[in-house]
Amino acid sequence: MKTSDIHITSASVYFIPVNMRVPLKFGPETVTRVVCLRVKVGIQDREGRQAEGWGETPLSVSWVWPSTISVAERAQRMEDFSVRLAKRLMSCGLQGHPMEIGSDFIHHHLADETRAANAAAGAQTADAEMPYLGSLVAFSAFDIAIHDAFGNLLGRDVYETYGPEFMNRDLSAYLQPEEGSGIDFAGRYPQDYFAAKTKTSLPVWHLVGGVDALEATDLNGSEPSDQHPILLADWIQRDGLKCLKVKLRGTDAAWDYERMVRIGRIAFANGVRWLSADFNCTVKDPAYVNAISDRLLAEEPEIYARTLYIEQPFPYDLEAHQIDVRSVSARKPLFLDESAHDWEFVRLGRRLGWSGVALKTCKTQTGALLSLCWAKAHGMPLMVQDLTNPMLAIIPHVKLAAHAGTIQGVECNAMQFYPDASILEERVHPGLYRRRDGIVDLSTLTGSGFGYRVEEIARELPKPAFVSA
């Protein structure tokens, strides 16, 4: 036990609706709005010191919960679940470091609440059940807030709190190395796996959605309706972009190939250096991805060479779809994303031939750090991918990328799809919400916790959906 061990004293839940400037395609669905879950958590340590912290994440139901149920119904159920989590967090009695509270809640409380919420909703089919990924995303806002509050309590940046000075348990309490690897997590802490030098600016990836206009011929005679770019070349030139993530269908090989070729040619003509390919978890057979890769190598070798990695072509449920993907990763690095719920799924992915891991703070700060440590210990490269994070949500996201040591920067696309959502935050952190010269600037993230500077942002929040007594 340490005097800095904390317990939860209060929790508040807010829902902030955000309308998209242009649609964003997630798998088979096209999204035009999203609700951001923002929470405030109060904590107290063993000496009676108190602090508060903030966490936020978009409740992106189309990403976390593919289903035939309407988006509106899924969104409402995730909002209801978020309130359930606040109540459970208040009553769970957990105490310790935020990593300990987060891990214990995930393993002993989150699954129970998920089952109870699905039962209360009358979910009788797999399609109607909110999946584990959905519950993780909802809990992530609370988990992030607890980490932020702990940093505020200590007057430290959160990334200064992940060592033996404040943690009761080393990584061996959370992680098991691959058998025969010779790796030992005893006496090791998250801080041992962070980048040796933390950068204050990062190369930024721009997402080219499946319905995005690439050239004027894609506009069908319409004109841009606001001050933001709409054509790909305009985005590249305005923001100085060097990295593009290409959303593909995964169900139409001819379309996917042509999309990569069109984007690659526009990109390289405008100074872009790197592409990545995201097949949206819709592919069932590695041969589909291999055929596109091989055709690019034969017909468009520069596009093939500059495709830095391939992201999650295969279904979310890694346990149910244990596909041997070595033939894909032999051609290009292959990164887990939706399947990488925690370090155990990362281990399973590695056994199946996946190359690396795309981390997301929306799967919890605690879980992201544990996956980071396991992956780095086993030689797996990292990326940090976006959930179209606006407002406060982008800040833990970019800080994770800065400390993880990714293969190439960080993905940030909220400024594409709802730039006006973060106008207040942009006044305090101008380099973070506007991409310049192909980078995002983290230098304004100062002070304790995640460095939000919430008081300076002074955002007026809607009426809370829940406030603890």
pLDDT tens per residue across span 52-107: 999 999 999 988 888 888 888 999 999 999 999 999 999 999 999 999 999 999 99
Segment 420-453, tens digit of pLDDT? 999 999 999 999 999 999 999 999 999 999 999 9
Domain count for the chain: 2
Same domain, 118 and 225: no
pLDDT mean over 313-336: 95
How far apart are the C-alpha atoms of 435 and 172, rounded to whole Å? 39
Same domain, 144 and 203: no
Closest by Cα among 453, 446, 404, 441 to 162: 404
Examine the fold and report which residue of 165, 200, 231 is the final residue of a domain before the chain moves on: 165
Segment 116-135, tens digit of pLDDT? 999 998 877 888 899 999 99
Same domain, 218 and 128: no
Of the pLDDT bands very low, low, confident and very high (cuts 50, 70, 90), residue 249 is very high
Evaluate if residue 255 carries a pLDDT over 90: yes
Same domain, 137 and 266: no
Phi, psi of 123 (to 5 degrees): -70, 120
Evaluate if residue 30 carries a pLDDT over 80: no
Q: Is 458 a domain residue?
A: no
Closest by Cα among 348, 343, 347 to 359: 343
Of the pLDDT bands very low, low, confident and very high (cuts 50, 70, 90), residue 29 is confident
Q: Which residues lie closer than 8 Å to 313 by C-beta, 6 or more apart? A: 250, 279, 280, 281, 282, 283, 286, 288, 289, 328, 334
Segment 374-411, tens digit of pLDDT? 999 999 999 999 989 999 999 999 999 999 999 999 99
Q: Is 182 a domain residue?
A: no
Residue 70 CA neighbour count, 13 Å, CB half: 3
Same domain, 323 and 218: yes
How far apart are the C-alpha atoms of 23 and 30, rounded to whole Å? 6
pLDDT of residue 285: 97
pLDDT of residue 227: 64
Q: Which two tokens stand for residue 252?
A: 């139409």
Of the pLDDT bands very low, low, confident and very high (cuts 50, 70, 90), residue 115 is very high
Evaluate if residue 272 carries a pLDDT over 60: yes
Segment 344-377, tens digit of pLDDT? 999 999 999 999 999 999 999 999 999 999 999 9
Q: Is 454 a domain residue?
A: no
Segment 312-321, tens digit of pLDDT? 999 988 998 9
Q: Is 155 a domain residue?
A: yes
How far apart are the C-alpha atoms of 438 and 409, rounded to whole Å? 10
Same domain, 419 and 333: yes
Closest by Cα among 15, 31, 11 to 23: 31
Same domain, 207 and 149: no
Using DSSP's 3-state secondary structure scheme, residue 24 falls into: strand
DSSP state of 436: B
- Residue pointed to by tokens 């966490």: 55
The model's pTM: 0.95
pLDDT of residue 358: 96
Mean pLDDT of the chain, nearest integer = 94
Segment 221-240, tens digit of pLDDT? 555 555 678 899 999 999 99
User: pLDDT: is 69 or 192 the higher one?
Assistant: 192
pLDDT mean over 37-56: 98
Same domain, 146 and 210: no
Residue 88's Cα: distance from chain center in Å? 24
Using DSSP's 3-state secondary structure scheme, residue 6 falls into: strand
Same domain, 159 and 234: no
Q: Is 234 a domain residue?
A: yes
Closest by Cα among 124, 140, 122 to 132: 140
Using DSSP's 3-state secondary structure scheme, residue 312 falls into: coil
Same domain, 161 and 196: no
Same domain, 138 and 210: no
Q: Is 181 a domain residue?
A: no
Could you tell me the CATH number of the domain that includes residue 337?
A: 3.20.20.120
Could you tell me the CATH number of the domain that includes residue 40?
A: 3.30.390.10
Domain of 399 in residue numbering reads as: 192-449
Q: Is 116 a domain residue?
A: yes
Q: Is 466 a domain residue?
A: no
Same domain, 142 and 222: no
Residue 76's Cα: distance from chain center in Å? 21
How far apart are the C-alpha atoms of 342 and 113, rounded to whole Å? 18
DSSP codes of every residue in 68-93: SS-HHHHHHHHHHHHHHHHHHHHHS-
